[in-house]
């Protein structure tokens, strides 16, 4: 009797870090564990992210899970009422409305929301809605890559191209993970 009347409790989890730090890998791992536990999941990503696949979230290690590409985070609210876990990849590319969306999912619908995204852009500044998402999350996990210059923990995504656009999709030919010291040196060289 008690379990039948138990209130569903939602939560928000954020996985953040630099390029090549394993954010998407960790998102996929958590979603697959939920599937294994027979929980109904729904996964989303920005439709601009077509690097590996249009209809899958794919890690740099080629692990994947099917998803729905969307332009507007509010479309996430159209999920089936039976969904227990929502995954969102590349959240930094969404506008600030994603914050309200995940709050509604967790607070009003009792959904576990797992979000992955870059915490900072190529200039080292907080990226899009990520600071707000981290502030409202019950759990924030910062993952790190390894600096390709010195081998220390990397927390910066250094852009190798000369583009000044904020959003430039790319891989190892466009970005490299760097530690703070190597990033500062690289940025100084870029600005010479």
CB distance 168 to 174 below 8 Å:
yes
Q: Where does residue 164 rank: exposed (0-12), middle (13-18), buried (19+ CB within 10 A)?
A: exposed
> How far apart (Å, rounded) are the C-alpha atoms in residues 176 and 146?
10
CB distance 69 to 49 below 8 Å:
yes
Q: Is residue 90 among the annotated active site residues?
A: yes
Number of Cα atoms under 13 Å in the Cβ half of residue 79: 28
Quick check: helix, strand or coil at residue 161?
A: coil
Length of the chain: 192
Provide the 8-state DSSP code for 119.
S
User: 90, 104, 171, 181: which is the annotated catalytic residue?
Assistant: 90
Q: Is 22 left (phi over 0), alpha (psi -120 to 50) or beta?
A: left
What residues are annotated to the active site? 90
């Amino acid at each position: 009797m008690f379990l039948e009347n138990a209130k569903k409790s939602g939560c928000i989890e954020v996985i953040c870090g630099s390029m090549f730090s394993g954010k998407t890998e960790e998102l996929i791992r958590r979603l697959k564990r939920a599937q294994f536990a027979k929980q109904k999941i729904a996964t989303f990503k920005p439709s601009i992210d077509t690097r590996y696949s249009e209809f899958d979230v794919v890690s740099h290690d080629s692990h994947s899970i099917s998803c729905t590409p969307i332009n507007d985070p509010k479309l996430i609210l159209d999920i089936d009422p039976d969904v227990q876990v929502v995954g969102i990849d590349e959240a930094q590319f969404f506008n600030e409305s994603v914050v309200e969306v995940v709050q509604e999912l967790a607070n009003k619908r009792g959904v576990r929301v797992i979000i992955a995204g870059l915490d900072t852009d190529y200039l080292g500044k907080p990226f899009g809605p990520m600071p707000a998402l981290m502030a409202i999350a019950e759990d924030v996990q910062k993952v790190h890559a390894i600096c390709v210059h010195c081998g220390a923990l990397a927390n910066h995504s250094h852009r190798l191209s000369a583009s000044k656009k904020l959003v430039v999709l790319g891989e190892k030919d466009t970005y490299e993970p760097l530690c703070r010291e190597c990033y500062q040196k690289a940025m100084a060289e870029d600005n010479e």
